[in-house]
Amino acid sequence: ESELNGIYDTNANKEGKLDKAGFLSLYNAIDDLFEDVDEEEDEEDRESEVKRALLAVLEQWNRDEERLPCGLESTEEEDKQILRIATLLEKESSNRIQSSSGGGSVEQEDLNGKWELLYTTSSAMKFNKGLSGIGGSFPNGKFGGLQQTLISSRLISDVEYTERIDVNPSAASFDVRVTGNWDLRQSVSLFTGQPTTVFSFEPGQVIYGPTKTKADHWKSLGPLTMLDITYLDNNLRIMRGNTATDSVFVFRRC
């Protein structure tokens, strides 16, 4: 991790941030880092470098208080580079989706728990400046982050998205909760023709303050209703749009 932080610091500008040229230099340095790995080096060490590279970049970006978190104000070039790093990670043997036949070994209980959104390339979330779109329309409000809580048993399959809306003054900040049901389905990718595990979300209600409304016609939730799980390990999950593979969601277990 210290080596990755050193690479970041080397390519950052005077303000400690990455411009387009700095990001490209960073990505090339990460590429070189992977290429320099000895072929006899333990495979798991190499895989962890790919994952650490992705997390290191995203954590640095999410510290930038001048932009919305989770990639909502990222550039097209930044999105492309994250997609490339995600593609590298998806090919690793640590990926439970890749190593299992069609993802068949992945069960709902494997996803149970609380997750936080680290990054998305979703054009809908960028346009709405969040999941619900409320942050961008609320006076002095803005998107402050998104958590996903998954619960499943033989009797229930509940999901709750908690979207933080930061407001000035901070005492007025609040959460938007989106509840519903979720399931895992086995399907065939429209793009690769290979078996895929689909995360299916059926929205129920949108709740904020005293307001509670049905979510079935809440258009901004559409991008999350059907996603292919393309990477999964104990604490990281990558999902792509079922009909648009360049729409990526990166979640980390809390």
Distance CA 173, CA 189 (A): 40
What stretch of H or E contains 176?
Answer: strand 174-188
In tens, the pLDDT along 177-196 reads 999 999 999 988 777 778 88
Domain boundaries along the sequence of the chain: 2-97, 103-253
Closest CA to 89 of 59, 122, 58, 49: 49
In tens, the pLDDT along 1-33 reads 445 555 555 555 555 555 555 655 666 666 665
Distance CA 78, CA 71 (A): 9
- With 70 as the cut, is the pLDDT of residue 99 above it? no
Query: What are the two backbone dihedrals, phi and then psi, of residue 111, each rounded to the nearest 5 degrees?
Result: -105, -10
Q: Which CATH class is domain 103-253?
A: mainly beta
Closest CA to 246 of 76, 91, 116: 76
Percent of the chain exceeding pLDDT 90 equals 62
Pick from 58-72, 99-113, 179-193, 203-217: least confident:
99-113
Query: What are the two backbone dihedrals, phi and then psi, of residue 93, each rounded to the nearest 5 degrees?
Result: -70, -15
Is this structure's pTM higher than 0.85?
A: no
Q: What tokens does 200 get?
A: 């299916």
| Mean per-residue pLDDT, 108-122 | 98
Contact 61/30 with Cβ under 8 angstroms? no
